[in-house]
Structure 1
Amino acid sequence: MNIVKMIKLISLWITLSILFIAKTNASQLTPMADKSIFEQGYPEPAARYDQALNITELNNVTTRMTGTSPNAIAEFAIHPDTLVNQLALDFSINYSPALLAELSHIKLYLNDYLMATLDLPKQTDTNALNSQQHWSIPLQADVLKDYNQIKYELVGYYTEQCQDDFNKNIWAEISRNSKLNLTYQALSVDSELALLPAPFFYDSLNKMLDLPIVFGQQPSTTTLESAAIVSSWFGQLADWRKSNIKTSINQLPSQHAVVIADNQSRPDFLQHYPLVEKPTVEIISNPKFRYKKILLILGKDEQQVKQAALSLAHASKLMVGRSVEISQPPLIEKRKAYDAPRWITSGETVQFSELISFPDQLQVKGMGSAARSLNLRFAPDLFIWRDQGVDLDLLYRYTPSKSITDTRLNLLINGQFMQGFMLEEYHQDQWNLGNLTIPFAEPTPGESTQSIEIPSFKLSANNVLTFDFSFAIAKSGACSAAPKDSNYGRIDENSSVSLAGYEHYIKMPDLHAFAQSGFPFTKYADLQQTLVLIGKNRSVNEYDLLFNTIAHMSASTGYPASYITIKNDLSDIKADDYDLLIIGQPKSLIKQGSKKSDILISQYKNELNRTLYPGQTEQKVNIELKSRGDLASILSFQSPYDSERTVVALYANSNAGYQLTTEIFQQQESLNKIKGAANVINQYGITHIQTDDNYYVGSLPIHQLIWYHLSDYPVILGLLSVLVLLVLSVIIWRLLKVLTAKRLAEGDE
Structure 2
Amino acid sequence: MFKIKQLLCIVLVAGSVLQAALSAPAAEKNAKALTDTIKTEQSGNRVENITTVLQHIPFANLEWVDETGGLSLSGTVPRRDVRFTIKRDEIVTKSELQLFYTPSPSLIPVRSQLNIYLNGVLQKSIPIKKEDLGKKVSEIIEFDSHIIRDQNQIHFEFIGHYTDYCENPVDTTIWLNISSQSILNLSKQHLHIANDLSSFPIPFFNVSNQQKSVLSVIFAETPDNNTLKAASVFASYGGVLTSWSGVDYPVFINELPASGNLVVFITNDKKPDFLKDYPNVKVPCIEMADVPGTQADKMLIISAPDTKGLVDASRALTQGNVLFNGPLSMVLELLETQKRKPYDAPKWIDTSKKVTFGSLTFYDKQLSSQGFTPSPIEVEMNLPPDLYFVNGSRVDVNLIYKYTKPMNIGLSQMRFIINDHLIRSYPLKPESETSHITENIPLLGGLSLFNKSKIDSSFLRPQNTLTFDFKYSMIFSSKVNECTTQLPIDNQVEIDPNSTIDFTDFYHFTKMPNLEIFWSSGYPFSIYADLQETAAIVNNPGDTSELNALFNTLARIGSQLGFPALNVEVLGNPSDDEIKNLSDYDLLVFGQVPLMLREDNNANVVLDATQQSINTSFNDSVPTHFNDEKKEVTMKIKQKNASGVGAFVSFMSPLNSNKTVVALISDSSEGMENIARNMIVNHGSSQTLGSVTVIKGDTSKSFDVGETYYIGDLPWYQRIYYILLDNPWFLMFLCLFCAVVFCILMYRFLRQIQKSRLKMQQLRKEQ
**TM-score, normalised with respect to structure 2:** 0.81
Which residue number in structure 1 is paired with residue 731 of structure 2? Answer: 717
What CA distance in whole angstroms lies between the structure 1 residues aligned with 2:265 and 2:683? 32
Which residue number in structure 2 is paired with residue 226 of structure 1? Answer: 230
| Alpha-carbon shift at residue 721 of structure 1 (Å) | 5.1
SS in 2 for 1:123: helix
What CA distance in whole angstroms lies between the structure 1 residues aligned with 2:290 and 2:443? 52
Q: Assess if the C-alpha contact under 8 Å between 2:419 and 2:459 holds in 1.
A: no
From the superposition, tell whether residues 42 and 246 of structure 1 become closer, same or farther in structure 2 (CA, over 3 Å). closer
> For 1:697-721, what per-residue CA distance to the aligned partner results, in whole angstroms no more than 9, with x for missing partners?
1121111112211333344335445
Which residue number in structure 1 is paired with residue 304 of structure 2? Answer: 299
Moved more, 243-252 or 426-435: 426-435
> For 1:357-376, what aligned pairs fall within 5 Å after superposition?
357-376=362-381
> For 1:395-451, what per-residue CA distance to the aligned partner results, in whole angstroms no more than 9, with x for missing partners?
211111436732222122122221222112232153333456889xxxxxxxxxxxx
From the superposition, tell whether residues 717 and 432 of structure 1 become closer, same or farther in structure 2 (CA, over 3 Å). same
What CA distance in whole angstroms lies between the structure 2 residues aligned with 1:102 and 1:646? 67
Q: Assess if the C-alpha contact under 8 Å between 1:283 and 1:323 holds in 2.
A: yes
Which residue number in structure 2 is paired with residue 9 of structure 1? Answer: none
What CA distance in whole angstroms lies between the structure 1 residues aligned with 2:743 and 2:284? 68
Which residue number in structure 1 is paired with residue 281 of structure 2? Answer: 276
| Alpha-carbon shift at residue 43 of structure 1 (Å) | 7.0
Moved more, 664-673 or 384-393: 664-673
What CA distance in whole angstroms lies between the structure 1 residues aligned with 2:743 and 2:211? 64
What CA distance in whole angstroms lies between the structure 2 residues aligned with 1:49 and 1:278? 40
What CA distance in whole angstroms lies between the structure 1 residues aligned with 2:486 and 2:463? 38
| Alpha-carbon shift at residue 673 of structure 1 (Å) | 3.8
What CA distance in whole angstroms lies between the structure 2 residues aligned with 1:596 and 1:85? 57
Q: Assess if the C-alpha contact under 8 Å between 1:416 and 1:455 holds in 2.
A: no
| Alpha-carbon shift at residue 689 of structure 1 (Å) | 0.6
- The one of 338, 349, 356 aligned to 1:351: 356
Which residue number in structure 1 is paired with residue 451 of structure 2? Answer: none
From the superposition, tell whether residues 92 and 536 of structure 1 become closer, same or farther in structure 2 (CA, over 3 Å). closer
Which residue number in structure 1 is paired with residue 626 of structure 2? Answer: 616
SS in 2 for 1:617: coil
- The one of 110, 115, 120 aligned to 2:123: 115
From the superposition, tell whether residues 692 and 80 of structure 1 become closer, same or farther in structure 2 (CA, over 3 Å). same
> For 1:345-387, what per-residue CA distance to the aligned partner results, in whole angstroms no more than 9, with x for missing partners?
3322222222211002222221354423211111111112232
SS in 2 for 1:571: helix
From the superposition, tell whether residues 454 and 561 of structure 1 become closer, same or farther in structure 2 (CA, over 3 Å). closer
- The one of 716, 722, 725 aligned to 1:702: 716
From the superposition, tell whether residues 519 and 131 of structure 1 become closer, same or farther in structure 2 (CA, over 3 Å). closer
Residues matched between the structures, number = 684
From the superposition, tell whether residues 157 and 615 of structure 1 become closer, same or farther in structure 2 (CA, over 3 Å). same
- The one of 527, 538, 544 aligned to 1:540: 544
Moved more, 609-618 or 382-391: 609-618
| Alpha-carbon shift at residue 474 of structure 1 (Å) | 2.3
From the superposition, tell whether residues 309 and 130 of structure 1 become closer, same or farther in structure 2 (CA, over 3 Å). same
Cα root mean square deviation, aligned: 3.5
What amino acid maps onto 2:404 in structure 1? T
Q: Assess if the C-alpha contact under 8 Å between 1:676 and 1:688 holds in 2.
A: yes
Q: Assess if the C-alpha contact under 8 Å between 2:76 and 2:373 holds in 1.
A: yes
What CA distance in whole angstroms lies between the structure 2 residues aligned with 1:43 and 1:692? 59
- The one of 489, 493, 500 aligned to 1:489: 493
Q: Assess if the C-alpha contact under 8 Å between 1:405 and 1:425 holds in 2.
A: no
What CA distance in whole angstroms lies between the structure 1 residues aligned with 2:719 and 2:158? 62
> For 1:593-625, what per-residue CA distance to the aligned partner results, in whole angstroms no more than 9, with x for missing partners?
xx6664487466345357563223165999986
What CA distance in whole angstroms lies between the structure 2 residues aligned with 1:703 and 1:735? 30
Q: Assess if the C-alpha contact under 8 Å between 2:605 and 2:628 holds in 1.
A: no
- The one of 661, 667, 674 aligned to 1:647: 661
Moved more, 493-502 or 422-431: 422-431
What CA distance in whole angstroms lies between the structure 1 residues aligned with 2:658 and 2:398? 36
What amino acid maps onto 1:560 in structure 2? P
What amino acid maps onto 1:650 in structure 2? L
Please list every run of 5 or more consecutive structure 1 residues that lacks an aligned counterpart in the other structure.
1-32, 440-452
What amino acid maps onto 1:79 in structure 2? K
Which residue number in structure 1 is paired with residue 94 of structure 2? Answer: 86
| Alpha-carbon shift at residue 668 of structure 1 (Å) | 4.8
What amino acid maps onto 2:178 in structure 1? I
What CA distance in whole angstroms lies between the structure 1 residues aligned with 2:628 and 2:511? 25
SS in 2 for 1:475: coil
Q: Assess if the C-alpha contact under 8 Å between 2:244 and 2:681 holds in 1.
A: no
From the superposition, tell whether residues 345 and 671 of structure 1 become closer, same or farther in structure 2 (CA, over 3 Å). farther
| Alpha-carbon shift at residue 521 of structure 1 (Å) | 0.6
| Alpha-carbon shift at residue 515 of structure 1 (Å) | 0.7
Which residue number in structure 2 is paired with residue 66 of structure 1? Answer: 74
| Alpha-carbon shift at residue 481 of structure 1 (Å) | 6.4
What CA distance in whole angstroms lies between the structure 1 residues aligned with 2:383 and 2:178? 40
| Alpha-carbon shift at residue 553 of structure 1 (Å) | 1.1
- The one of 562, 571, 577 aligned to 1:571: 577
From the superposition, tell whether residues 605 and 482 of structure 1 become closer, same or farther in structure 2 (CA, over 3 Å). farther
| Alpha-carbon shift at residue 241 of structure 1 (Å) | 2.1
| Alpha-carbon shift at residue 72 of structure 1 (Å) | 4.3
Moved more, 263-272 or 41-50: 41-50
- The one of 641, 665, 682 aligned to 1:628: 641
Which residue number in structure 1 is paired with residue 450 of structure 2? Answer: none
Which residue number in structure 1 is paired with residue 693 of structure 2? Answer: 679
> For 1:476-531, what per-residue CA distance to the aligned partner results, in whole angstroms no more than 9, with x for missing partners?
43767675661111222212222123221111111111111111111111111111
What amino acid maps onto 2:237 in structure 1? W
Q: Assess if the C-alpha contact under 8 Å between 1:263 and 1:301 holds in 2.
A: yes
- Would you say 1:56 and 2:60 are equivalent positions? yes
What CA distance in whole angstroms lies between the structure 1 residues aligned with 2:313 and 2:443? 44
From the superposition, tell whether residues 221 and 604 of structure 1 become closer, same or farther in structure 2 (CA, over 3 Å). farther
What amino acid maps onto 1:384 in structure 2? F
What CA distance in whole angstroms lies between the structure 2 residues aligned with 1:259 and 1:481? 69
| Alpha-carbon shift at residue 326 of structure 1 (Å) | 1.6
What CA distance in whole angstroms lies between the structure 1 residues aligned with 2:136 and 2:645? 46
| Alpha-carbon shift at residue 733 of structure 1 (Å) | 7.5
What CA distance in whole angstroms lies between the structure 2 residues aligned with 1:410 and 1:224? 50
| Alpha-carbon shift at residue 87 of structure 1 (Å) | 1.6
- Would you say 1:500 and 2:504 are equivalent positions? yes
Q: Give me the identity figure in percent.
A: 28
SS in 2 for 1:364: strand
- The one of 145, 166, 172 aligned to 2:149: 145
What CA distance in whole angstroms lies between the structure 2 residues aligned with 1:77 and 1:250? 34
What CA distance in whole angstroms lies between the structure 2 residues aligned with 1:621 and 1:217? 36
> For 1:29-63, what per-residue CA distance to the aligned partner results, in whole angstroms no more than 9, with x for missing partners?
xxxx99xx99xx97714222222323223222243
Which residue number in structure 2 is paired with residue 582 of structure 1? Answer: 589
What CA distance in whole angstroms lies between the structure 1 residues aligned with 2:331 and 2:752? 77
SS in 1 for 2:241: helix
What amino acid maps onto 2:397 in structure 1? L
Moved more, 469-478 or 563-572: 469-478
> For 1:426-575, what aligned pairs fall within 5 Å after superposition?
426-428=431-433, 430-435=435-440, 457=458, 459-477=460-478, 483=487, 486-567=490-571, 568-569=573-574, 570-573=576-579, 574-575=581-582
- The one of 185, 188, 198 aligned to 2:189: 185
Q: Assess if the C-alpha contact under 8 Å between 1:512 and 1:672 holds in 2.
A: no
Q: Assess if the C-alpha contact under 8 Å between 2:509 and 2:711 holds in 1.
A: yes
SS in 2 for 1:198: coil
What CA distance in whole angstroms lies between the structure 1 residues aligned with 2:534 and 2:411? 53
> For 1:157-197, what per-residue CA distance to the aligned partner results, in whole angstroms no more than 9, with x for missing partners?
22222312233432223344432222221233232222222
Please list every run of 5 or more consecutive structure 2 residues that lacks an aligned counterpart in the other structure.
1-36, 445-453, 614-621
| Alpha-carbon shift at residue 231 of structure 1 (Å) | 0.9
Moved more, 702-711 or 722-731: 722-731
Moved more, 313-322 or 340-349: 313-322
Moved more, 166-175 or 464-473: 166-175
